[in-house]
Amino acid sequence: MARPIPVWLVAVTATALALVIWVLAVPVAGVDLEAGKPTQTIGAAAVVLTVLVVTLCAWGVRTLLRRRASVVWWLTCGIVLLISLVLGPLSASSPAAVATLAALHVTVGTVLAVGLDPRRARVRTPALAG
């Protein structure tokens, strides 16, 4: 596995990509990004705050799963992403909003799963020459 990726870099990357998707969808394409009951508009601040909170939660889960097999991490990430896709985007007010929210969820979920993979967090010491 490659060198460890700092958690701050994972958080910045996930946030930046989410904001790019939001900007392309909302101001550029004119998507009314609304979801929930009662309907709430999802703005840039909500996107940033949500990504940062989810990153902190994923970091905590990674810490708990650090000593387990990597399949546990990937299974957990897959289940959480699936639940977030069912509960989040499907409550959107239009097909364009559903697609935008799904893109946000998949992008952030992928960045966090790959960037916070516990195998990257392990510090490996070189073998002693005998």
> Residues 58-103: pLDDT tens digits?
999 999 998 888 999 999 999 999 999 999 999 999 999 999 999 9
CB 112 within 8 A of CB 77: yes
The DSSP output letter for 41 is: E
- Residue 68 has a pLDDT of 87
Is the pLDDT at 28 greater than 90? The verdict is: yes
What pTM, to 2 d.p., does this model score?
0.89
- Residue 127: pLDDT band with limits 50, 70, 90: low
Q: What is the rounded average pLDDT of the residues 27-48?
A: 96
The larger pLDDT score, comparing residue 122 to residue 57, is at 57
**Residue 92 phi, psi dihedral angles, 5° rounding:** -70, 160
Q: What's the CA gap between 77 and 64, in Å, rounded?
A: 13
User: Is the torsion defined by CA of 7, 14, 87, 78 positive or negative?
Assistant: negative
The DSSP output letter for 130 is: -
CB 1 within 8 A of CB 120: yes
Mean pLDDT lowest among 21-25, 53-57, 110-114, 122-126: 122-126
- Residue 123 has a pLDDT of 56
- Residue 122: pLDDT band with limits 50, 70, 90: low
| Mean pLDDT, the chain, whole residue set | 92
